[in-house]
Amino acid sequence: MIVPGFQAAATAAGIKKNGGLDLALIVADTPCAAAGVFTRNRVKAAPVLLSRERLRRHRLQAVLINSGNANACTGAQGMTAAVEATRQAAQLLGLPENLVAPASTGVIGQPLPLERIIAALPDLVASLSPEGLGQVAQAIMTTDTRPKTAFIRETMFGVPVTMVGIAKGAGMIHPDMATLLAFVFTDAAVTGRVLKHLLKEAVNQTFNRITIDGDTSTNDTVLALASGKAGNPLIADPRLSALSLRDWLKDLLTDLARQVVADGEGAMRTYRILVQGAASPRQAQQAAAAIATSPLVKTAMNGADVNWGRIMAALGRSGANFQPERVDITFGPHQVVKNGQGLGIEAENAARQVILDGPFTLTVHLHAGNFSDYYDTCDLSQDYIRINASYRS
């Protein structure tokens, strides 16, 4: 998992209580075109504010990431710590500090242990290597049970282009829990503005389809850096010439998003809520979100219970316009509700098997229009409660 022009390393700086990898550094040989998409939560962590600021000129050369501490709700001291950590890294790397973007994930409201980070930086810089990206994927984990990476190598204008994606995503993929960090490194030659355009579009189609638009954590960050080492003609127009890059970016983030859902806290089952026949795009989104985030639907899926009444109840409060007596509900290929009424126990037994067999699509047709939308989500388990009732302890 090597991307020409990038080196990376990770270490255990003592930020995590368990002594695991918790500090990662990724550095490019030269300044990169860069873009970011950040949380829309009103409460933004210091590294989010600082990275957003440093991306104004669409250029970055390094990313410094820590897990175990979100550096959120830490006030002026938190911002100072983020600035200082990236300044120290920049000095060791011989870079201007505004080319280093910070990202943090972990517990909110506790001071970032700056001394430990600074103490760990020299060894971290010394161990930078082109093979280091895999370790980065491990170092950014919090309650994730496995690292999440994706890799694409394709040809564009006759030259090979590489793209690597790394993500961490805890939570049950629910409004306030998509505590997501994701990083994309590529050697494609593309302007920062085009990269920003493509990244935003891809995030909207992927990570924003495993969480709820507008409902975000304090630290959500997606950064993309493009070194240009591939040598393709510079992509400076978001339309025609960027088509391949757009597809690859979407594929990469789709892959990462699926891994995040599959590793949802305590998740036993993953599924897609697909709403069809809505009266507007907004209503399709509302209906899909209401079902995807309903704890009652999630617990029913956990119990492999084809409790479609809960789906109807979630639909009914979603804000979408529809006539209950026209709704169809289908699990995989098995329809269980037709015209708002159940098709009986045989249909439900077949649907139950679909749930047990796992990953499946739950399709709801409203017959109220021509618009559709979806969310990928997971069930709500007793393990989820166990994990989150004791997360800080």
| Interacting residues toward its own copies by CB under 8 A | 40-44, 70, 72-75, 107-110, 171-172, 174-177, 214-218, 290, 294-296, 299-300, 302-303, 305, 307-310, 312-317, 320-322, 324-325, 337, 339-342, 380-382, 384-386, 388-393
Catalytic residue among 179, 206, 363, 377: 179
137, HSE (Cβ side, Cα atoms, 13 Å): 21
Residue 177, classed as helix, strand or coil, is helix
- Rounded to the nearest angstrom, the gap between the alpha carbon of residue 47 and the centroid of all alpha carbons in its chain is 17
With beta carbons less than 8 A apart as the criterion, state whether 135 and 24 touch: yes
Quote the CA–CA distance of 112 and 98 in Å, as a whole number. 20
User: Do 39 and 48 contact (CB within 8 A), yes or no?
Assistant: yes
- Return the number of the residue (174 or 246) whose C-beta is nearest its own copies: 174
Among residues 370 and 382, whose Cβ is nearest to its own copies?
A: 382
Q: In the chain, which ranges are continuous DSSP H helix?
A: 46-54, 75-93, 114-126, 133-139, 192-205, 243-262, 281-293, 295-302, 308-316, 345-357, 382-389
Phi/psi at 279 (5° precision): -75, -20
Q: Which is nearer to its own copies, 71 or 227 (CB)?
A: 71
What is the dihedral angle through the alpha carbons of 52, 264, 164, 272, rounded to the nearest 10 degrees? -100
42 C-beta neighbours (distance < 10 Å), count? 7
Going by C-beta distance under 8 Å and a sequence separation of 6 or more, which residues neighbour residue 207?
178, 180, 182, 222, 253, 256, 257, 260
Closest approach of its own copies to the CB of residue 238, in Å: 29
Residue from 386, 200, 362 nearest 288 by CA: 362
**CA–CA separation, 223 and 228 (whole Å):** 16
| Residue 60 · residue 93 · CB < 8 Å | no
Q: Which two tokens stand for residue 187?
A: 């050697």
Residue 187 and residue 3 in contact, taking contact as beta carbons nearer than 8 Å: yes
Q: Which two tokens stand for residue 143?
A: 């309650």
Order across the sheet with 371-378: list the strands.
Answer: 341-342, 334-338, 328-331, 360-365, 270-278, 371-378
Question: Of the two residues 186 and 294, which places its CB atom closer to its own copies in the complex?
Answer: 294
Token pair of 41 as six digits: 């939560």
The nearer residue to its own copies, 89 or 178, going by C-beta atoms, is 178
Told to judge if 206 belongs to the known catalytic residues of this protein, a careful annotator would answer no
Residue among 30 and 390 whose Cβ is closer to its own copies:
390
3-state secondary structure of 218: coil
Name the residue among 196, 201, 143 with its Cα closest to residue 169.
143
Cα gap 105→107, rounded to integer Å: 7
Using the minimum distance from each CB to its own copies, give the nearer residue, 231 or 316: 316
- 177 vs 210 by CB, closer to its own copies: 177
Catalytic residues: 179
